[in-house]
Amino acid sequence: MTTVWQDDLRLGQHSTDERELTADIAAGLLSDELPTAPHVITRLLRGLNGDVLAVREAAAALSGAHRSGQRMLPSPLPLVPSIEGAFSRVALDADTRAVLLTAALSIDDRVEPLLDACGCTADELLQGGLAEHLTASNGRFALHDPRMGIWLDHTAAPLESVNAHARLERAHREHGNQAAADWHAACGAVTRRPEVARALTTAARELSLLGSMESAFAFATAAAEHADDPQRETARLIAGTSAAAAGCFDDANELLAGLLQSEDAATRIGALPGVLLAQTCARGWVPALEPAELRPQVSDAHHWCAWARTAGLAALMCAERGATPAMRTWLAEVREADARAGAGGEVRDPTAALCWMLTGDADDANPYADGPFSGTMSAALRAAVTGDVDEGLQLMAGTHTSLIDEHDPLVPGFEHSPLVEAYLAVTESLLLFWRGDIEVARERLSTASLSLPVGIPFAGLGATLAQRLDTATLGAPGPLSQALTVTLPDGIRIDGLVDAGLSAYLDGESEQAATDLALWRDRGAPEPALSVAGLEEVGPFVDRVRVEPPESSEARELIHRIRSLPETSWRHAHSEISEACRRLGSSFDRGRVEALLGSTCLLHGDLAAGRRHLRAARRLFDDSGAHAWRDAMDARMSRLHVAQAAASDPMTDPITVIRDDDPLAAGRAAWETLLTQRELEVAMRVAAGGENREIAKALDVSVRTVEVHVGRLFDKLGVRNRVELAVMAHRAGRVF
């Protein structure tokens, strides 16, 4: 148990090898139908000495809630067959086993208390059989293989464990470490020990303030097992809020829901934020509560300030999920509570600013606020959506370098919690995505996913962003982003149709891409509150307010304009769009516009301009790290080269617009990014002079269906009649 004090992994402590190994394990567990969140896999890897087989066996032995991170991992971890096999033949004499068991159970890894507990010297600790399994350096000790601790803990007789805890309790009391002594007193007790509960509760609260939520949870749950009322309620409150702050919502709801009926007002108000968070993520919507029944019934300023934060959290969760009417109700509650608490807007102003920004209705006001969440994150997002992504990233960089612990008015005491850090990591990755640094954003988010529940913030934005970044770089969601998505709480649903459409589009399967995007539109075109670019190249244009930088909106509008321009306006508009495209600062956004300009130029017969735009797009995608988009440009230019070579070969018959064996041969290369397969079939038959009735008979569809397709073709290709469509088709045939 030496890891209880150091159990919370921190951002930036993960090597590339560890990330790749976690991804490999995630892929294997997905194939075994044992989906496991990346940060849970990392904890298993570290707790099991990097033993991949043991990790997979442990995942199989754990519940789905443990694998998804909705419950804290058990301590000790399960004794799986590979661990039993590794140590079942280890021969230990009684004294050596006693020392190793004591080391395995110790809450503290300092050598001196261990020596006192075991009654041995430092030389004895480093000699003989002990030295094979135990190491000591700089006054600290550790088992060579943490799996041995699991084996010893599971195989120890009850009396062995009780005696080891008793020895450790005495040693820590002699060294003045009362929290550690009380921990061992609680763990080794055969009956309840109410006298240790208060000290454990105090230690749990201190650990929570440090952001060590797993340790805080362990101390608080131990305190709750031994405490009398009302101390038990206090311990359960700390354990439950620690679980919520770690993203372990099943634990949080189990511990906190019952406290809503407490006779103590502070306990009721303290439990409500965790319950709201847990139940919202479990159900998908903020519970419909009547604020008047929950607000404080006394004039105590501390109670009203706590209620203001609770109402603020509810308002933010509503804003994340697009529930604006409910958000307004909770914001009204925040305003009243802030006033009654005499907080002077400390809670009201940052809550309102963040809520209205998430709904796209932010005004020019930017109220100053302290803290990484209320202040830095909110200010960084505001800077980005008002046009300065670089300033936003500079603000976010301060969260990594600040040497001062900031008080946050919305999440006091949880500034360093895993959930708040997950919000910060997702925000920074989103800003990098908006700036066009695709590869850097993916690196940042995938690294964060090894430590933090990054899928949860902003109602699943982290999972959506992880999939989109993988698709841009790999061509499809990778195992880490897939694991993030499938292990989300039940109430957070991520629509995968846009990423499926993107993968198909980048593979040259435009018909499948269009089908996926049409289905996405039919589902209501779900998108996160903070916008993540999708597939406007083939997808439907959804007219809604999007929270994104002005440049992202401009790129979206340029794509819309390219797709909707009639041929008669193309030559004049082309130069205007090209000039506007050059002003885009994001390499990725500009690359997408250049790519569509290239395809459209080819469609309109401008071979030189088409090739130029495609080459520019390829370079821009390479610069941004969007390798799948870059490879798609290579494939597109390769097809163009092959078609040109065939067209220039004197021994080759001229490419006709339509052939009996393959009616799509001439036009597919030019129109594949704009039309579905059925639309291509109709277009080429129209270009060959076919009438609607003839086309309907050939394709075994109704005349009305053909009429609908022809109307869509006119809109998509920007032509007014069948003659203009035929001219364009012949021109595309000559180009390709």
Q: What is the pLDDT of residues 307-331, one digit of tens each?
A: 999 999 999 999 999 999 999 999 9
Which token pair is 547? 């929270």
Residue 443 vs residue 366, higher pLDDT: 443
Q: Check whether residue 619 and residue 709 sit in a common domain.
A: no
Query: What is d(CA 736, CA 723) in angstroms, rounded to the nearest whole number?
Result: 20
Residue 599 vs residue 164, higher pLDDT: 164
Mean pLDDT over 253-278 rounds to 93
Dihedral sign, CA of 662, 667, 670, 676?
Answer: negative
pLDDT at 366: 55
Q: Check whether residue 633 and residue 563 sit in a common domain.
A: yes
pLDDT of residue 247 exceeding 50, the answer is: yes
Q: Check whether residue 628 and residue 561 sit in a common domain.
A: yes
**Closest C-alpha to 286, from 330, 338, 244:** 330
pLDDT of residue 729 exceeding 90, the answer is: no
pLDDT of residue 445 exceeding 80, the answer is: yes
Q: What is the pLDDT of residues 140-185, one digit of tens each?
A: 999 999 999 999 999 999 999 999 999 999 999 999 999 999 999 9
Answer whether 540's CB lies under 8 Å from 525's CB.
yes
Q: Check whether residue 689 and residue 721 sit in a common domain.
A: yes
Half-sphere exposure of 24 (CA within 13 A, CB side): 12
Answer whether 460's CB lies under 8 Å from 528's CB.
yes
Q: What is the pLDDT of residues 205-238, one digit of tens each?
A: 999 988 899 999 999 999 999 999 889 999 999 9
Q: Is 39 left (phi over 0), alpha (psi -120 to 50) or beta?
A: alpha
The answer to whether residue 545 sits within a structural domain is no
The answer to whether residue 127 sits within a structural domain is no
The answer to whether residue 598 sits within a structural domain is yes
Identity of the residue numbered 424: L
pLDDT at 329: 93
pLDDT at 653: 40
pLDDT of residue 516 exceeding 50, the answer is: yes
Query: What is d(CA 232, CA 203) in angstroms, rounded to the nearest whole number?
Result: 14
Query: What is d(CA 521, CA 538) in angstroms, rounded to the nearest whole number?
Result: 12
- Split at pLDDT 50, 70, 90, the class of 303 is very high
pLDDT at 572: 83
The answer to whether residue 175 sits within a structural domain is no
Percent of the chain, pLDDT > 70?
A: 90
- Split at pLDDT 50, 70, 90, the class of 642 is low
Q: Check whether residue 601 and residue 686 sit in a common domain.
A: no
pLDDT at 657: 33
Identity of the residue numbered 267: T
pLDDT at 59: 97
Mean pLDDT over 9-28 rounds to 79
Answer whether 169's CB lies under 8 Å from 222's CB.
no
Is residue 360 exposed (0-12), middle (13-18) or buried (19+ Cβ within 10 Å)? middle
Q: How many domains does the chain have?
A: 2
pLDDT of residue 411 exceeding 80, the answer is: yes
**Closest C-alpha to 713, from 664, 669, 680, 668:** 680
- Split at pLDDT 50, 70, 90, the class of 124 is confident
pLDDT at 629: 97
Among 73-82, 166-175, 529-538, which stretch is predicted with the lowest mean pLDDT? 529-538
Q: What is the pLDDT of residues 362-380, one digit of tens each?
A: 655 555 677 889 899 999 9
**Closest C-alpha to 107, from 225, 237, 235, 212:** 212
Mean pLDDT over 661-670 rounds to 48
- Split at pLDDT 50, 70, 90, the class of 659 is very low
Query: What is d(CA 223, CA 463) in angstroms, rounded to the nearest whole number?
Result: 35
Domain boundary among 648, 679, 701: 648
The answer to whether residue 327 sits within a structural domain is no
Task: State the average pLDDT for the chain.
Answer: 88
Q: What is the pLDDT of residues 606-617, one digit of tens each?
A: 888 999 999 999
Residue 491 vs residue 126, higher pLDDT: 491
Instruction: From residue 663, give the alpha-carbon distance in Å to each of 583, 658, 672.
Output: 40, 5, 14
Q: Check whether residue 644 and residue 690 sit in a common domain.
A: no
Among 23-32, 81-90, 682-691, which stretch is predicted with the lowest mean pLDDT? 682-691
The answer to whether residue 567 sits within a structural domain is yes
pLDDT at 666: 46
Mean pLDDT over 571-585 rounds to 91
- Split at pLDDT 50, 70, 90, the class of 643 is low
End-to-end CA distance of the chain: 68
Answer whether 610's CB lies under 8 Å from 636's CB.
no
Mean pLDDT over 463-486 rounds to 96
pLDDT at 297: 84
The answer to whether residue 381 sits within a structural domain is no
Domain boundary among 601, 620, 648: 648
Q: What residues form DSSP beta bridges with 140?
A: 110, 137
Secondary structure class of 106 (helix, strand, coil): coil
Q: Check whether residue 555 and residue 643 sit in a common domain.
A: yes
CATH number of the domain to which 698 belongs: 1.10.10.10
Backbone angles phi, psi at 213, to 5 degrees: -70, -35
**Range of the structural domain that residue 598 is part of:** 550-648
- Split at pLDDT 50, 70, 90, the class of 353 is very high
- Split at pLDDT 50, 70, 90, the class of 604 is confident
Q: Check whether residue 693 and residue 636 sit in a common domain.
A: no
pLDDT of residue 648 exceeding 80, the answer is: no
The answer to whether residue 329 sits within a structural domain is no
Percent of the chain, pLDDT > 90?
A: 64
Query: What is d(CA 576, CA 598) in angstroms, rounded to the nearest whole number?
Result: 14
pLDDT at 541: 81
- Split at pLDDT 50, 70, 90, the class of 656 is very low
Q: Check whether residue 562 and residue 612 sit in a common domain.
A: yes
pLDDT at 638: 85
Half-sphere exposure of 321 (CA within 13 A, CB side): 23
Q: Check whether residue 620 and residue 562 sit in a common domain.
A: yes
Answer whether 129's CB lies under 8 Å from 96's CB.
yes
Query: What is d(CA 19, CA 15) in angstroms, rounded to the nearest whole number?
Result: 6
